[in-house]
Structure 1
């Protein structure tokens, strides 16, 4: 099963691309995203294609802060049914618990959490935003969109009219895409750190006890009941477990239905039936994982194509070339040149 994200995440994308002088239809077509899907916030888009499209649009339209600009045009409502439960929560702690539990409704590849301060400062915690890289490759623009929206939602729910005085720093895993001043102005804090171990907002621990004026226990219970009844936790699905097993064993012998079934303690036929019941199959999952890994190695590294083939589990480079042409309508060399990774 391919990891997805709700189409609401692209709210504002088409208008922004047009304002930048581009044609959103060109990007949507290139990454096989139907424009019709964007008509509904609840439509589902493959998160890898979603993220690759953001990175490509930013590069080709000369808009390094595209992710931040999209975040400025969005709000809590993009989370759909989850937004109601968050807003109705009594405190920041309960809201974070809610979004941590049900973030999969928006995308199973994205995770929100709270952890001790990675810089070891007492009285400070990190509100983390993470993408599961076993589900989809890293995207700087998508990360800035996510962290930027996370920040804006916090400001909105806390009804802060001035600076976010409890914010110590913003942590981003990649290097700056825009001038640093753009980040400090967006987040309202001088400390925006790049090359961090994880994406996070470092805040005063006391902020977790802040209450929401929108708190409503009745609405919260109804919203949580709706989420529980209508959405299944992806971690409980067999296809997600198989995808993770395949991602961990790419390039290692034993990447077969039989071997994977053995690792999961199932008979191969049982595994086939359960995957079919979830609308997928073993070969489809392997193909999806190889596609995402190939994109990463071809477009983000200078690893020789013969080694890329080995790392993603192809017996020879010709098989990689054939697959890349099928996935991306270009040879590995042309794709690397097109995405500007040849010198990395």
Structure 2
């Protein structure tokens, strides 16, 4: 019998689910955990389109009751399920279908915090600051200058199955969040997606209502910086403060993850400058020797974490875009393509060109 799906309008259920993520025992939380609201959306889409979701979930190795039992899932499980669901439905924009079902209520406590922030900029800052409350497998960044604001989404493990669909799901989710705060007619100026352009781009144009650029280095929304200053109608500071206190209390129960923090900082820094151990330690407000000790306790090293993060990004761009080796090399801040090729061979035992050819043949 198919699992009973809780009502999407029952925000109390969503609040309970989100809270439960952070009060589980320390050993029960995957390092790269993701909230299960996307899993529920996948189940709904499969059901509504005549597919057997329980069968597809079983084949993907994911419990079809996971979103009911308040469990979290890993990025690998979510990616595997998304990729299989897209294949079974033969829908190239399956990630978009999942992301556009996101509501503020489905974000639980964090959605309440955004809803009652003073401005759009404050809401996005809160989303960035507490993103680990929902997901620990990706980085969210907000940057702006006088004219343009950009919200970037970067998963840590870019080699995960279905990662291109996962990125488009996240960008669609961010779009729905901003429409909930700005009004339903809001649209970004541009959308960037790190994936090959699908045969039919109409679903993207209809949903985003703007220019969509495929084969980009990152997943991002681009819009006018003045949007950040827009006040949020009906926001209540008392609710915001109470929710933020509760979120901070729950976050205190989440186990520390130094390697995850390093991956986050490396992923953030890799597109800006060459990653240095001392720089990451400074960003984490600890000494580089303390950083080394903590990573050793987790069974890894700074060099290993940094290399794996950069390698994952390289493989994502090689697999899901047609960017040249020179463009990928520049995106990863190598001095020249030859340096990128040398590093990639050291990491994998083969060249980026050969790895790309083999990937496309499988």
Short-chain TM bin: 0.5 to 0.7
Distance 2:238 2:262 in 1: 38
User: What runs of 5+ residues in structure 2 fail to find an aligned partner?
Assistant: 1-29, 268-288, 321-343, 350-357
Task: Answer yes or no: is the 8 Å Cα contact 2:83–2:161 preserved in 1.
Answer: no
Shift of 1:107: 0.6
Q: Measured at CA, do residues 157 and 133 of structure 1 come closer, stay the same or move farther in structure 2, by a change above 3 Å?
A: same
Task: Answer yes or no: is the 8 Å Cα contact 2:80–2:162 preserved in 1.
Answer: no
Partner SS, residue 102 of structure 2: coil
Q: Of residues 162, 173, 178 in structure 2, which corresponds to 1:149?
A: 173
The one-character-per-residue Cα deviations of 1:60-94 (angstroms, maximum 9, x if unpaired) are 22111212222232212222211111111010111
1:231 matched residue in structure 2? 251
1:89 corresponds to 2:121: no
1:221 corresponds to 2:241: yes
Alignment of 1:241-320 (within 5 A): 264-266=291-293, 311=347
1:131 corresponds to 2:155: yes
Partner SS, residue 66 of structure 2: helix
Q: Measured at CA, do residues 14 and 134 of structure 1 come closer, stay the same or move farther in structure 2, by a change above 3 Å?
A: closer
Shift of 1:263: 9.0
Shift of 1:51: 1.2
Q: Measured at CA, do residues 84 and 109 of structure 1 come closer, stay the same or move farther in structure 2, by a change above 3 Å?
A: same
Distance 1:244 1:89 in 2: 25
Q: Measured at CA, do residues 19 and 203 of structure 1 come closer, stay the same or move farther in structure 2, by a change above 3 Å?
A: same
Distance 2:61 2:162 in 1: 19
Distance 2:234 2:36 in 1: 26
Distance 2:93 2:129 in 1: 30
Task: Answer yes or no: is the 8 Å Cα contact 2:191–2:212 preserved in 1.
Answer: yes
2:285 matched residue in structure 1? none
Alignment of 1:10-29 (within 5 A): 10-29=39-58
TM-score, length basis structure 2? 0.64
1:187 corresponds to 2:208: yes
Distance 2:161 2:107 in 1: 22
Distance 1:3 1:213 in 2: 34
